[in-house]
């Protein structure tokens, strides 16, 4: 018999009260299936899990929802939608269709929070890939147009506008399904290939035209810890009712060859979790705290050790400030 799923902020029956708000994001246990990750989270005393779409699509959203519920877990968020920046009309239609599918998956899983990574410049060949070459010059002199860049695929202003336009296209569909589009700003080093939205302030500006119940933001410590305006923007997110998630992991050095894989356990790096957590708390956030780590050493560790470390670091570095 499955364990009853607890409301947000509460521990499921028999689970650790001090871990009531701690959530395992399945990216942290990359090599586990959804069933294995859910079992590991439940065994560690957690009451929630953040799910990536690859794990959902391995079994189908209906089965995934059953797996999570059978382990007495609520779903803190679904990761991820987004990648909305293409300038190609056919690719844009495909991206919007995929995001509508993600909305339906989130609804089926019972979470209203769909995290969006908006996408990088069209000049990116792939996330983490080399830049595409500039187009061939139109005539021997190669004189650039007076009113635009040499290559529109490198126009970050126009790319951000496409993000705004496509959020507007998705918002009514998300609202119909009771799902919130949660914009995630990424560290500026990912602006070229993953997210042209780099700060919480930019994400909030994009969200501003929409109902806070339909478009919100997430604070991910790895991506925003450096921002000198972070305190003000977290307070703004809370005042606007848009603070939809809090993801924690640390900034560790040296950076990996792929900087995306340079996220460490809370307490292993440079992030001031006490201060940022207090800002999030004071902004009124009462939801789950997801641990989302991309790191080869963490992925290679036994899952039980990873969950035990997560729990110990949460109790020591995050919980006292929630």
> Do the domain assignments include residue 3?
no
pLDDT in tens, 184-221: 999 999 999 999 999 999 999 999 999 999 999 999 99
Smallest CA-to-CA distance from 162 within 96, 79, 243 is with: 96
pLDDT above 80 (res 142) = no
Q: What is the DSSP string of 282-312?
A: HTT--S-EEE----HHHHHS-HHHHHHHHHH
Average pLDDT (153-181) is 97
The H helix count followed by the E strand count for the chain is 11, 10
> Do the domain assignments include residue 6?
no
CATH number at residue 305: 3.20.20.150
pLDDT in tens, 242-261: 999 999 999 999 999 999 99
Residue with tokens 């729990």: 311
Q: Which domain holds residue 160?
A: 17-136+147-321
State residue 3's pLDDT score. Answer: 72
> Do the domain assignments include residue 141?
no
> Do the domain assignments include residue 30?
yes
Q: Using CA atoms, how far apart are residues 56 and 78, in angstroms rounded to an integer?
A: 9
> Do the domain assignments include residue 5?
no
How many domains does the chain fold into?
Answer: 1
3-state DSSP call for residue 260?
A: helix
pLDDT in tens, 23-52: 999 999 999 999 999 999 999 999 999 999
The mean of the pLDDT values for the chain is: 95
Q: What is the DSSP string of 74-102?
A: EEEEEEEEE------HHHHHHHHHHHHHH
State residue 298's pLDDT score. Answer: 97
Neighbours of 160 (CB within 10 A): 17
> Do the domain assignments include residue 11?
no
State residue 141's pLDDT score. Answer: 58
> Do the domain assignments include residue 7?
no
Residue with tokens 């586990």: 32
> Do the domain assignments include residue 2?
no
Smallest CA-to-CA distance from 100 within 63, 58, 61 is with: 61
């Amino acid at each position: 018999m499955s364990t009853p799923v607890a409301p947000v902020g509460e521990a499921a029956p028999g689970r650790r009260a001090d871990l009531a708000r701690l959530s395992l994001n399945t990216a942290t246990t990359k090599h586990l299936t959804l069933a294995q990750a859910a079992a590991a989270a439940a065994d560690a005393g957690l009451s929630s899990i953040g799910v990536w779409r690859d794990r959902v699509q391995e079994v189908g959203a209906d089965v995934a929802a059953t797996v999570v519920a059978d382990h007495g877990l609520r779903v803190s968020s679904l990761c991820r939608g987004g990648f909305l920046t293409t300038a190609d009309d056919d690719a844009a239609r495909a991206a919007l269709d995929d995001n509508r599918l993600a909305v339906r998956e989130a609804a089926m899983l019972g979470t209203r929070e769909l995290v969006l990574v908006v996408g990088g410049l069209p000049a990116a060949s792939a996330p983490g890939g080399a830049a595409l070459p500039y187009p061939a010059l139109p005539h021997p002199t190669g004189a650039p147009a007076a009113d635009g860049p040499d290559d529109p695929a490198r126009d970050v202003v126009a790319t951000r506008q496409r993000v705004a336009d496509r959020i507007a296209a998705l918002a009514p569909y998300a609202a119909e399904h009771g799902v919130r589009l949660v914009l995630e700003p990424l560290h500026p080093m990912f602006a070229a290939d993953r997210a042209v939205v780099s700060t919480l302030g930019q994400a909030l500006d994009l969200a501003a035209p929409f109902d806070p119940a339909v478009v919100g933001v997430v604070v991910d410590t790895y991506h925003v810890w450096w921002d000198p305006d972070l305190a003000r923007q977290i307070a703004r997110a809370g005042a606007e009712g848009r603070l939809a998630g809090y993801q924690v992991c640390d900034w560790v050095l040296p950076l990996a060859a792929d900087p995306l894989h340079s996220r460490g356990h809370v307490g292993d790096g440079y992030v001031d979790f006490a201060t940022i957590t207090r800002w999030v708390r004071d902004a009124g956030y009462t939801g789950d705290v997801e641990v989302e780590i991309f790191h080869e050493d963490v992925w290679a560790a036994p899952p039980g050790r990873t969950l035990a470390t997560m729990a110990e670091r949460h109790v020591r570095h995050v919980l006292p400030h929630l």
